[in-house]
Structure 1
């Protein structure tokens, strides 16, 4: 088995699809890894694909002419489902769809895998709409840090900009090193390797207020850690003010 890494960008994802779908390179003996989620330790059995911007643009345009519109709109969504590792399933379906476009509407095992990843992505996005916590930094910027299971930030930021139109906002996905910044007038999504912000209750007194509120409303006699974990999994808690 050979491990194939791509750089985690959408252009890198499209370059990968072009190489192994359009150019018909065999995919049965490869494992695909997103280097944003997995460290790329290259050896004799691994290979890093170089992202080709122009190739990605041309292939994206090609897909728009070949795929049904509702399917083409999901290509970017499948890219965002990065931790589901559905790249190989998508490749197989794309290959077959050139000859049999109706495969997208069947119960083929790869289609089922893609549909399941899409549902999990939408659930993860919905959860973070409620769980994302902002802290006010000394420069009056609202800052939020999180590590979602999927790459939901590109589909998440607009909700908060719409709700807080007059605020300066930074949202940082520390797992993928992906950052969204909004100045109030301009918005930008960018890769930010090395970016870190330390948060403490001394910076934002609302952290202490959240913790006190959370403690005061609790009913010790009815405390159930099992139910609490079911409703609020542990992976979310280190990013919530009331649990830190």
Structure 2
């Protein structure tokens, strides 16, 4: 068994594929630099990040795979799971070893696994698009702090750009420490100290900002809570079913849940 140490990036992953074919090493186990473990007699390889090698592998994948399959590859990568990355490496080895298309060969464990990871990441993408709520600050910026299970900010970017073209907004991922800022023209990737914005991060809550909010924001917030309470029929509450459709980890984004 050969152990490949890599940094978890897409470039690093594609370089692992390049190395595997360069040295015909097809029994490979991926490890991250920060927590790599290996056997006493294992062969260890540190994988550098060469952009040109990564581009060669990606170009080859574009020739071998359809657009939906490439989309699945990207979604599975954004899971940030080392297990998923291992399947992506095995998948690439399988794809380049076969003459015909293997995209729907679900008898292969990595083809099936990538399809499953794609669904998981896709569900998180749709939930973020549905549940993200903004608060307006005094300078007119609409701000939201999120903590998705997977790295879906790159996937939700087109949705929010289409929907909020006339507003400046910032969606910041507390866990991954980067965000997307829209300035009415372009979207920029930014970083900041999220705990300076949200006083309750250590308690697992969000959207309780220390920034000064627009004077009408508190009013709108209370109006929405009042509306939610007025249409709620307590006698017909089914918390078990409610949690099934709206897991508690998403309640932190909803004003009506922060009463």
TM class by shorter chain equals 0.7 to 0.9
Question: Counterpart of 1:76?
Answer: 74
Question: Counterpart of 1:243?
Answer: 257
Question: Counterpart of 1:86?
Answer: 84
Q: Tell me, yes or no, if structure 1 residue 128 matches structure 2 residue 128.
A: yes
CA distance in 1, matches of 2:6, 2:182: 28
8 Å contact from structure 1 (residues 21, 94) kept in 2 = no
What does the per-residue CA deviation read over 1:43-99, in whole Å, with 9 as the maximum and x for residues that have no partner? 787987543333323332233234445434443233223248311122112112222
Give the alignment's TM-score, normalised by structure 2. 0.76
C-alpha change, 1:11 and 1:155, in structure 2 (3 Å) is: same
**Secondary structure at 2:227 match in 1:** helix
Question: Counterpart of 2:149?
Answer: 149
What does the per-residue CA deviation read over 1:8-59, in whole Å, with 9 as the maximum and x for residues that have no partner? 443333334333455444545x3545x8xxxx35678798754333332333
8 Å contact from structure 1 (residues 32, 87) kept in 2 = no
C-alpha change, 1:7 and 1:238, in structure 2 (3 Å) is: farther
Question: Counterpart of 1:105?
Answer: 104
8 Å contact from structure 1 (residues 141, 170) kept in 2 = yes
CA distance in 2, matches of 1:76, 1:22: 23
Question: Counterpart of 1:173?
Answer: 173
Give the alignment's TM-score, normalised by structure 1. 0.80
Could you tell me which runs of 5 or more consecutive residues in structure 2 were left unpaired when the two chains were aligned: 199-206
Could you tell me which runs of 5 or more consecutive residues in structure 1 were left unpaired when the two chains were aligned: none
CA distance in 2, matches of 1:48, 1:243: 47
Q: Tell me, yes or no, if structure 1 residue 219 matches structure 2 residue 233.
A: yes
CA distance in 2, matches of 1:84, 1:7: 11
**Cα offset, 1:160, TM superposition:** 1.4
Q: Give the aligned length.
A: 237
8 Å contact from structure 2 (residues 2, 45) kept in 1 = yes
The more displaced of 202-211 and 89-98 is 202-211
C-alpha change, 1:214 and 1:51, in structure 2 (3 Å) is: farther
**Secondary structure at 2:151 match in 1:** coil
Q: Tell me, yes or no, if structure 1 residue 209 matches structure 2 residue 209.
A: no
Q: Which one has a bigger Cα radius of gyration?
A: 2
> Residue 95 of structure 1: which of 69, 93, 96 is its match?
93
C-alpha change, 1:31 and 1:208, in structure 2 (3 Å) is: farther
Question: Counterpart of 2:119?
Answer: 119
What does the per-residue CA deviation read over 1:148-167, in whole Å, with 9 as the maximum and x for residues that have no partner? 22222111121111111110
Question: Counterpart of 2:51?
Answer: 53
8 Å contact from structure 1 (residues 32, 85) kept in 2 = no
CA distance in 1, matches of 2:153, 2:79: 11
8 Å contact from structure 1 (residues 171, 179) kept in 2 = yes
What does the per-residue CA deviation read over 1:195-244, in whole Å, with 9 as the maximum and x for residues that have no partner? 44224377231333333333333222222221121111011111222212
The more displaced of 199-208 and 167-176 is 199-208
The more displaced of 145-154 and 49-58 is 49-58
